[in-house]
Amino acid sequence: MNKRTLEIAEETALKLYESSTSAFKAILEDTFGRKFFIKDITDRVKTYEDACAELDEEPLNESDLKSLGFTDDEIVYRKIKTITKALNEGWVSDWNNGNQKKWYPWFEMSSGGFVFDDAFCAYSAANAGDASRLCFKSRELAKYAGEQFTKLYSDFIL
């Protein structure tokens, strides 16, 4: 079987991607990278596994961690940290910068159970309940994380 090389300009690849089959999209993503086609991080990270892929990390082996004595909430915390890191795309909070906003999802208990309520920000004050390592660079990301990953936050908090 003869092999041939096909060169595709980036602009053409973007146009082809929109109307391609999933198989051809996979080829284009292998060639150009998924980030090239799916620019918005909230479109790329829908699950913990997506966050791991975004960071080129292996998902946690929960069985191994449990055998080492990790509790369920400790495992979930590590998952939320991974998701937060992926969604922030390299942004790291600077707790020495009192002018930098740090956003976090806010949850409450209601008659419907544990629910996402809103996203809030803090500047330099980090309350223990705010989980300062789980803050986001924008209100939109905090809101997205709270809505998309409510179950994980519930498993961690409750």
Confidence of residue 131 (pLDDT cuts 50, 70, 90): low
Q: Based on the domain organization, do 88 and 151 belong to the same domain?
A: yes
**Is position 1 within any domain?**
no
Whole-angstrom distance, CA of residue 80 vs CA of residue 88 = 12
Look at residue 98 and tell me whether its pLDDT is greater than 70. yes
90 and 132, same domain (yes or no): yes
Tally the domains of the chain: 2
pLDDT in tens, 39-59: 899 999 999 999 999 999 999
Query: Which residue type sits at 87?
Result: L
32 and 45 housed in the same domain: no
* Domain residue limits at 76: 40-157
**Token output for 138:** 């924008």
Whether residue 80 is predicted with pLDDT greater than 60 in this model: the reply is yes
Across the chain, what does the average pLDDT equal?
89
In a domain, 140, yes or no: yes
Residue at token pair 């309350």: 127
